[in-house]
Structure 1
Amino acid sequence: MATTRDRSKMQNNSNSTKAQSSYVQGPLKWAIAFTASLGAILEVIDTSIVNVALTDIQATLGATVSEVGWVVTGYAIANVVLIPLSAWLGDVFGKKTYFVFSMVGFTLASVMCGFAFNLPMLVISRILQGLFGGGLLAKAQAILFETFPPAEQGLAQAVFGVGVIAGPAIGPTLGGYLTDSLGWRWIFFINLPVGIAAVLMAIFFLPPDRVQGKKNHQKVDWLGIILLIVAVGSLQTFLEEGEQDDWFNSQFITTLAITTVVGLVLFIWRELSTKDPAVDLRVLRHRSLAAGSVYSGILGMGLYGALFAVPLFAQGVLRFTATQTGWLLAPGALASAIVMILLGKISTKVDARILIAIGAVGTALVMFQLSNITPQTGTEDLFYPLLWRGATTVLMFLPLSLATLGSLPKQDISAGSGFYNLTRQLGGSIGIAILTTLLAQREAFHKAMLLTNLSPYNPETTQRLNALAGAFQNRGSDAATAQQQALTSLDQLVNLQAAILSYADIFRFVGVVFLCSLPLLLLLGKGGAGAKAPIDH
């Protein structure tokens, strides 16, 4: 009996040693972590860095508001199309080769953006930048999961998560500073030295590609790739352009919606029926990935939705400049980075569902606090809520990554990571589309409600108009001009109050979404606290 126990113990030790040896050892693994994360950080920052420079770009290149919007839309569409294909491309060309190729392409495309002499060239360059960048985000996370053993996944994913969480806040800060100081072209040129450093690090530090044998010679699923481009590209365009074109009142948007549904159905059928799919949807058989991807979409809605609403409120209502808005978001980004590193040390020891629940409730409370905004709200009123938002969001992001991907077999990590990152990106786009529409609708509603109380027969309205007209007359205006100025001023006050009330509704909506997402946690695994080491086949 003792002999059997000893043999069993020796066998377990042998398996454990074998599993451990399949991961990178020593300082090299941290060099790999920093290299992979640097590529992801560049991609995420470039998603938002251009937003604050659109007005300058429009003026320089002589574009309309709708035309310059494609500088953002083109990047987003290309990004979401490539993310699910990144696993297949990594298998065909090799993970290191594909990552280096994507990094080189992203850097060169950034330079092309900086040198763009007209809008078409800038949009094409941004599309190329999005195509190359899509390979960096999902591939970086997959590289980390394949490099670090389960016990160290928390810290490794924390390094990656710092960029993904803080990037949307760093982007406007950096973009505003560069645009105001050096001009909008430098928001692209700044990628050149960082990109060169990332390429050199990837060449030196990333492990060489393994020979995949038959996998490298599998058939290319061209039909699946075309259907993916049609479906996801149409969906992203639908989300980006819907509000501007009044949704289904536009034939273009309606056509995009139909194309999206038909394309997705055909794409799913194709990928599940072919032997060599471009996107392996069969990885969704893992319950942790399926549930985690759904929650990732909700996280994307809240993360990018809140970061979308705050700058709009700061610039549209508080009249902040791009640089001031960036600095408003900076403390939250710093809080995210600090909490991410601290959480990385304990996340593998605590049930992920508990951490995610704390983060969701905490973020919801922050959103409800932000909904108390008034015309007198200033930087000091937003400082602590945004600081706490940065900290609580991390409590969802890092544990969710571990709970979703940590227990997947090694051969499914790349495909799983691509799908997981895709849902977060699409969740962000869906969240922004919903919030944009909701913002416009609620603003119109509140304005109508406020105007019902404004009437020439209402003594309070008459008294307010007379007070305003008297103030303008004291400044030198004649009676007729003062009366017109008073009406204009009152209209501006109504618009301001309607805008504030609509933003309050937006913040409350995001808070409710996070609270309603809590039941989904029952479908997740324990993550770092209960995940087994990935199986290496």
Structure 2
Amino acid sequence: MERPQGFAKFIIVLTTITAAVMELLDTTIVNVALNQISGALGATIEDIAWVITSYAIANVVIIPMTGFLGEYFGRKNYYLGSMILFGIASYFCGMSETLWELVFWRFIQGIGGGALLSTSQAILFDAFEPEDRPMASGFFGMGIILGPSLGPVLGGYLVDNFHWSDIFLVNIPICIIAVILTLVYIDRKEGEGANRKNMAIDYPGILLLMVTVGGLQFMLEKGESEDWFDSRLINICAFLFVGGLAAFIYRELHTKSPVVNIRIFQNQTFTMSSIFTLVGGFGLFTSVFVYPIMVQRINGLTPTETGLSLMVPTFLGVFLFPVIGRALSKGAKPLPFMVFGILIYIVFGFIGGESTSEMGRWDFFPMQMLRVIGVACLQMPLINQAVAGLKPNEYASGISLTNMIRQLGGAFGIAVANNYATTRAAQHRSDLLANVTAENPLFQQRFQGIAQSMAQKTGEIARAGEMAYKQIDMAVTKQAYYLAYLDTFRLVSIIFILIFPFVFLIKTPKKDKKDIEKILKASEEAH
């Protein structure tokens, strides 16, 4: 097939990377605005997490279907339709006046955005010769790290200088430009949508996938507040997850037109890579979720300062992804990169767990640099490893499932981090309050000092003691959450420690020159 050249190729790369960045950016752009959104809509910080997870659930549901839906509707039509849906949903997110209205439109936004990720990757691959596709993977990897990392930067600037709704409305002009560029520069593949009449939509499979993912996500989100399996609602969700997963697997293995080709999990390389992609997504999204909340609640950083503390490390990742992609394209083995990336993640978690409440935005640079290096060294090889052992006609399914698994890891990570931090905060608060007693001379000294200060400032001597107790209570709560966030960083390290030995089970299939030439030719025909 004829590849785009020169300016046309540059525009395709720019359009696809922008679409991928925009989709992933919206997974984290709300992180720095959670306090403002919860205040404006009258929601708790625990409930406001649904603004993030509803988007992630929609992503996880729609991403594995993109290969099928792109073939059914035609890839270009599906790509354009998804962009338009994403833009419309972004507008209504910005116009939302209640929490659950916002959650609903975030879910619709996630449906439109989920298609942009895998479809952008496929279109980007088409712009490169098969032997140059590791470089295409490098460019796509830039989007993977730019989106989640730049979200807090842009979100912080908009929240501080404008209104929280602008974090959604900013998507609209970008969508309009991307739609125009797609119409002009991205060509339809030969025979797009021609087999629609011969294709059957796997409606039961789609429904079972939604039930499975929705049941699991709701169980993770509401488990803590509902007392886990003492709750009938959580038990129902657990049943929906287990039963839905079993039925989904059976359905996809026995239907002629599965919406998700799960047979590729028979490939050991793909399966092991998927496990690390899941854990990598957990680490990437969890760290980006916890960090903004911690530094704003505890360290007093503004949303803009929070974003700036992430910006410079992010540009390091932009540089690293193409470099690692070029090294892999020249024959470098992926295992050393992955091992190094996991070790960096482990160190990052423990360094994050040693942060102090007096640290400013510049003090967080070293730990954020470590995070970016770990992401680049782990994610870049995984993008290539995920399809290394697959047949060319399985690449589309492999790409979609890999992106889904990464997003699923992120969705699980946010849910687990939210519940874990809440649980640990309650435990730390209980431990701290054990020292707040009348018999403790240090407490009495602190109490008397605060009471006297309040009496001097307000002139209300009678209420000075009551105000002092409130001040101490707020200080205890703040310290409890601070300790809980540090525990959450350490949790990321512990998970990577547990998964580390299995990295050596990932094998890169060896192919001679003739095998490579056949795969490249078949890959070109498949794309």
How do residues 98-117 of structure 1 correspond to structure 2 at under 5 angstroms?
A: 98-116=78-96
Q: Distance in 2 between matches of 1:121 and 1:366?
A: 37
Q: Which residue of 1 aligns with 2:206?
A: 225
Question: How many Å apart are 1:317 and its aligned residue?
Answer: 1.1
Secondary structure in structure 1 of the residue aligned to 2:386: helix
Aligned partner (choices 489, 508, 527) of residue 507 of structure 1: 489
1:524 equivalent to 2:506? Answer yes
Deviations 1:161-185 (A, max 9, x none): 2222121221222123223333233
Q: Which residue of 2 aligns with 1:174?
A: 154
Q: Distance in 2 between matches of 1:246 and 1:378?
A: 37
- Give the letter for the 1:189 counterpart: L
1:416 equivalent to 2:398? Answer yes
Deviations 1:316-342 (A, max 9, x none): 212323222222222232222222233
Q: Distance in 1 between matches of 2:216 and 2:208?
A: 12
Q: Which structure is larger by alpha-carbon Rg, 1 or 2?
A: 1
Q: Distance in 1 between matches of 2:50 and 2:336?
A: 41
1:210 equivalent to 2:210? Answer no
Q: Which residue of 2 aligns with 1:154?
A: 134
Deviates more, 1:294-303 or 1:110-119: 110-119
Q: Distance in 1 between matches of 2:256 and 2:52?
A: 36
1:330 equivalent to 2:311? Answer yes
Q: Which residue of 1 aligns with 2:275?
A: 294
Percent of counterpart pairs with the same letter? 34
Q: Is the 8 A contact 1:58 1:65 kept in 2?
A: yes
Secondary structure in structure 1 of the residue aligned to 2:439: coil
Question: How many Å apart are 1:60 and its aligned residue?
Answer: 5.7
Q: Distance in 2 between matches of 1:142 and 1:528?
A: 24
1:130 equivalent to 2:74? Answer no
Question: How many Å apart are 1:147 and its aligned residue?
Answer: 4.4
Taking structure 1 as the reference length, what is the TM-score of the superposition? 0.87
Q: Distance in 2 between matches of 1:53 and 1:196?
A: 25
Question: How many Å apart are 1:382 and its aligned residue?
Answer: 1.2
Deviations 1:207-241 (A, max 9, x none): 42232765751222221122112222322333344
Q: CA 1:24–1:176 in structure 2 vs 1: closer, same or farther (change >3 Å)?
A: same
Q: Which residue of 2 aligns with 1:362?
A: 344
Question: How many Å apart are 1:347 and its aligned residue?
Answer: 2.9
Q: Distance in 2 between matches of 1:121 and 1:473?
A: 45
Q: Which residue of 1 aligns with 2:165?
A: 185
- Give the letter for the 2:85 counterpart: G
- Give the letter for the 2:474 counterpart: Q
Aligned partner (choices 42, 61, 64) of residue 22 of structure 2: 42
1:390 equivalent to 2:369? Answer no
How do residues 452-471 of structure 1 correspond to structure 2 at under 5 angstroms?
A: 452-471=434-453
1:142 equivalent to 2:122? Answer yes
Deviations 1:475-513 (A, max 9, x none): 465665443344333333333333232222211121122
Question: How many Å apart are 1:264 and its aligned residue?
Answer: 0.8
Q: Is the 8 A contact 1:351 1:529 kept in 2?
A: no
Aligned partner (choices 90, 95, 112) of residue 70 of structure 2: 90
Q: Which residue of 1 aligns with 2:174?
A: 194
Q: Is the 8 A contact 2:301 2:361 kept in 1?
A: no
Q: Which residue of 1 aligns with 2:3?
A: 24
Q: Which residue of 2 aligns with 1:248?
A: 229
Secondary structure in structure 1 of the residue aligned to 2:200: coil
Q: Distance in 2 between matches of 1:62 and 1:484?
A: 27
Secondary structure in structure 1 of the residue aligned to 2:327: coil
Deviations 1:115-173 (A, max 9, x none): 45666654443332211111111222233345434542332122212222121221222
Q: Is the 8 A contact 2:267 2:389 kept in 1?
A: no
Structure 2 runs not aligned, ≥5 long: none
- Give the letter for the 2:288 counterpart: L
Structure 1 runs not aligned, ≥5 long: 1-21
- Give the letter for the 1:334 counterpart: F
Q: Is the 8 A contact 2:30 2:155 kept in 1?
A: yes
Aligned partner (choices 398, 401, 405) of residue 383 of structure 2: 401
Question: How many Å apart are 1:276 and its aligned residue?
Answer: 1.4
Q: Distance in 1 between matches of 2:436 and 2:342?
A: 40
Secondary structure in structure 2 of the residue aligned to 1:323: helix
Q: Which residue of 2 aligns with 1:425?
A: 407
Aligned partner (choices 367, 373, 384) of residue 355 of structure 2: 373
Q: Distance in 1 between matches of 2:511 and 2:314?
A: 27
Secondary structure in structure 2 of the residue aligned to 1:111: helix
- Give the letter for the 1:416 counterpart: G
Aligned partner (choices 466, 472, 480) of residue 484 of structure 1: 466
Q: Which residue of 2 aligns with 1:14?
A: none
Q: Which residue of 1 aligns with 2:285?
A: 304
Question: How many Å apart are 1:358 and its aligned residue?
Answer: 0.7
Deviates more, 1:125-134 or 1:205-214: 205-214
- Give the letter for the 1:417 counterpart: I
Q: Distance in 2 between matches of 1:201 and 1:528?
A: 40
Q: CA 1:106–1:463 in structure 2 vs 1: closer, same or farther (change >3 Å)?
A: closer
Deviates more, 1:404-413 or 1:63-72: 63-72
Q: Distance in 2 between matches of 1:117 and 1:500?
A: 31
Q: CA 1:193–1:418 in structure 2 vs 1: closer, same or farther (change >3 Å)?
A: same
Q: Is the 8 A contact 1:49 1:174 kept in 2?
A: yes
Q: Distance in 2 between matches of 1:74 and 1:500?
A: 26
Q: Which residue of 1 aligns with 2:294?
A: 313
Q: Distance in 2 between matches of 1:184 and 1:265?
A: 41
Q: Distance in 2 between matches of 1:50 and 1:88?
A: 30
Question: How many Å apart are 1:250 and its aligned residue?
Answer: 3.5
Q: CA 1:283–1:248 in structure 2 vs 1: closer, same or farther (change >3 Å)?
A: same
- Give the letter for the 2:249 counterpart: I
- Give the letter for the 1:443 counterpart: A
Q: Distance in 2 between matches of 1:277 and 1:264?
A: 14
